[in-house]
Amino acid sequence: MFGIGTPELIFIILIVLLLFGGKKIPELMKGLGKGVRSFKDGMNGLDPDAPSEKKTDKPTPEEPKHDGQ
């Protein structure tokens, strides 16, 4: 597809390990996953900052009314 075979992938992985170290890679992958998820949500028209509308069985309590006294 891109002309990248197994030896090239191994070489790239080794370079990444040398540059970032073994402890930093999980953090990088976590950030990459969040970015991909955000991109997919954006493509689907979902706003990640919008509050989700979950239906609950509990009615919301009403504010007590004051008579003005």
Q: What's the chain's average pLDDT?
A: 79
Q: Is residue 30 part of a domain?
A: yes
For the chain, give percent helix, strand, coil, nearest 5.
50, 0, 50
Q: Is residue 58 part of a domain?
A: no
Q: Is residue 17 part of a domain?
A: yes
Kindly report, residue by residue over 26-35, the tens digit of the pLDDT: 888 899 899 9
pLDDT of amino acid 60:
64
Q: Is residue 1 part of a domain?
A: no
- pTM metric for this prediction: 0.43
Q: Is residue 14 part of a domain?
A: yes
Q: Is residue 18 part of a domain?
A: yes
Residue with tokens 């309590």: 61
What is the total count of domains within the chain? Answer: 1
Check: CB of residue 4 under 8 Å from CB of residue 13.
Answer: no
